Chains A and B, each alone.
Chain A
Amino acid sequence: MLTRMIFAALLLAPGAALAQAQKPNDAQIAHIAYTAGVLDITAGKQALAKSTNPDVKAFAGEMVRDHQAVNDKALALVKKLNVTPEDNATSQALTKAAAAKQAELSRLSGAAFDRAYVENEVAYHKTVNGALKDTLIPNSQNAELKALLQTGLSLFTAHQQHAEHLSMSLAK
């Protein structure tokens, strides 16, 4: 029950924060997308350090590698466009929620950790997918930024499916 409540709260909290950001500008959008990647990389590194399940480790490795690849492109793009990513309420809310989750996960181990990590990955990717689709992509002005966000959306969607699949296999 408690797990379900935390899960629901996590699902809602970043989503609500993302909804608050009315029409973010490109500098804020770049910051949010980059932050979302960094947070998932951090979570992946935590899982690589704590988990002993080969499927979970492979998934976490994929998160670290893929999000690093997008973020490298994002950094190169903002440099090229001479845009300085701008911190904002959405990035802060995401970071705060992720820090709380990381602390919670640090107290778990073994199968309990694996399940909680993967469940959160499902929820997290769902939230970020929603934000990309409904807020970040429609509001981005620069065509190259929009294209990169679209790549990010295909990536997050694939990751969400992988996480859902993994979550089901861990529940067995």
Chain B
Amino acid sequence: MPPKAGTWRVIGALLLVGIAPHPAEAARYVIEIRDMSFGPAPKHLKVGDVIAWKNNDMFRHTATEPGIFDLDLAPGAQGEVTLKKSGVLKVICRYHPNMTMRLAVEKEH
């Protein structure tokens, strides 16, 4: 017996969902600043992901990629950036130049 019209519609809808391109799922990461250092860098970062820096230290810090972004974070403050390009970012604290971290960003999702 051939399937009823309603069944075709359901199959059609399922196919449509399957064929439609998956929207890229941007991820969001939080990096904690504590005891005069940046927390560990998240792995497998991709363009479009969002990184938030949360300053849980008692000191004012920045998360800065010179010329790209500069988050000035009072104690307790949080700021975020969206990763715009692939490559290795070298992030520093402008106030404490010994605080550095590297973020390896891969191409888009």
Contact = CB atoms under 8 A, between A and B. Distances in A.
Interface of A: 58, 62, 65-66, 69-70, 73, 151, 154-155, 157-158, 161-162, 165
B99 A158 contact: yes
A128 to B, nearest CB: 15
Contacts of B99: 158
B59 interface: yes
B69 interface: no
A65 B58 contact: no
B96 A69 contact: no
B31 to A, nearest CB: 18
B98 A65 contact: no
B30 interface: no
Contacts, number: 36
Given A66-B95, A151-B58, A158-B99, 12 more contacts: A58-B95, A65-B60, A65-B95, A69-B60, A73-B58, A151-B35, A154-B35, A155-B36, A155-B59, A161-B98, A162-B98, A165-B97
A66 B59 contact: yes
B79 interface: no
Contacts of B95: 58, 62, 65-66
Contacts of B98: 158, 161-162, 165
Nearest to A156: B36
Contacts of A155: 36, 59
Nearest to A160: B98
Interface residues of B, number: 13
Nearest to B95: A62
The 6 closest A-B pairs by CB, nearest first: A161-B98, A154-B36, A62-B95, A158-B36, A69-B58, A158-B96
Interface in B36-72: 36-37, 58-60
A62 B96 contact: yes
17 contacts: A62-B96, A65-B60, A66-B60, A66-B95, A69-B59, A69-B60, A70-B58, A154-B35, A155-B36, A155-B59, A158-B36, A158-B98, A158-B99, A161-B97, A161-B98, A162-B98, A165-B97
Interface string B72-100: 00010000000000000000001111110
A65 B59 contact: yes
A87 B60 CA distance: 30
Nearest to B35: A154
A69 B74 CA distance: 11
Contacts of B96: 62, 158, 162
A125 B35 CA distance: 17
B15 to A, nearest CB: 59
